Amino acid sequence: MNINTSVVQRLRDALLDEARSAGAQQPLASSDDVSGQHQALLERFTPFAETMFLVVIADGDEDPAELDALRGAMHMLTADQLSDDVLTDIFQRCRHNVAEFGIQRHIEMIGARLVGDRLDRETAFTLAAAVAMADDRVHGAEADILESIAEYFGISSSASRRLLEEI
């Protein structure tokens, strides 16, 4: 799977720019600060964050550029409604779930939360691909995880190629 396309590179650059410019307006300061609205926000966007984070940890190295791209994506998706502390909490829970269930099972669990919406699954996959490119290279383990994500999210190889070209 070739994810090093000009479109993915543009998305990656936009995510990195967003992470660098993310401002102070982040009302949800911790995952313990959960009103009904914030709970809905967490439930809606956590699967996207986890999908991207799986790519970050796939090669055993949490590259700062990849984390920046992930944070930028989440700031864009949530209009800066989740603080970096909340994202860190999501990442810690994701690490725990991967340690407890394994990465393949965790991909299945994320896919089950996104099963009702093809566009959500495709968006999560595409964002994960952009995060993988954040450090200007895609390691073998990252490519393998992206292929697993596509498979478990019900995205065919031709559809995944199309998505990566259309970003």
- How is the chain split into domains, by residue range? 6-166
69 contacts 36 by C-beta, under 8 angstroms: no
* pLDDT level of residue 14 (50, 70, 90 thresholds): low
Average pLDDT over residues 1-26: 52
Structure confidence by residue, pLDDT tens digits, 79-124: 788 888 999 999 999 999 999 999 999 999 999 999 888 888 988 9
78 contacts 23 by C-beta, under 8 angstroms: no
Q: How far is CA 51 from the centre of its chain?
A: 4
User: Alpha helix locations (H) across the chain?
Assistant: 6-21, 36-57, 64-78, 84-101, 103-114, 118-132, 140-152, 157-166
* pLDDT level of residue 20 (50, 70, 90 thresholds): low
